[in-house]
Structure 1
Amino acid sequence: MTLDGGTVTLSAKHVTVKGTYHQAKDATLHVNAGDRATVDGSAHLNGTLVVNGAKSKNQTVLTFSKRTGKFSHVKLEGFGKNAHVVYTNKSVKVTD
């Protein structure tokens, strides 16, 4: 899946992307509380990540087999002021 621009909002608690996920600098991934996307292949990250974490302390947002890049902008809504994004080799998480 390639997201070159615009916004994708997850519409289910768990969404699976078959293959590779590529997000360009002008694109936005919007994730609501408790939602998560799993990418079967690699994830190429850029652009904006918006996470609505209403009443959530920690949330895994995205899992994948391999990652390149990071989101260039992150907006965390409903988290505490110490919330931040953690990138690992296999996931993107928000911790508060």
Structure 2
Amino acid sequence: MKQLVTKYNLPSIKQPASTGNLAKTVDLESEHKGLFKLYSKLVHPSSYLVNDYANSAAVENQKILQIHAQLYAHDSVSRICEELNIPYEVSKPYGKA
């Protein structure tokens, strides 16, 4: 990492910003607060998964994760299309006129 910082003349950062601070910076603090607990409980090994597996594997949690995966995928594709200057007629979401 240090070699890459030197090679690309990047600033040296002692501690990266927390996800909460990043969310606040890009004005997504409310989304972060609403989803962070669920994501962190499912991503990191925790007693939630061990002691309450039925609730952690609930259909509601699955749907929340599926919906947000789709939202984030759409956002990523949209940003890529913008960056590559792809015309809206080509990149428009399916079903939109």
Q: Same fold (TM over 0.5)?
A: no
TM-score tier by shorter-chain length is under 0.3
Alignment TM-score, normalising by the size of structure 1: 0.19
Alignment TM-score, normalising by the size of structure 2: 0.18
Please state which structure has a larger fraction of its residues in helix. Answer: 2
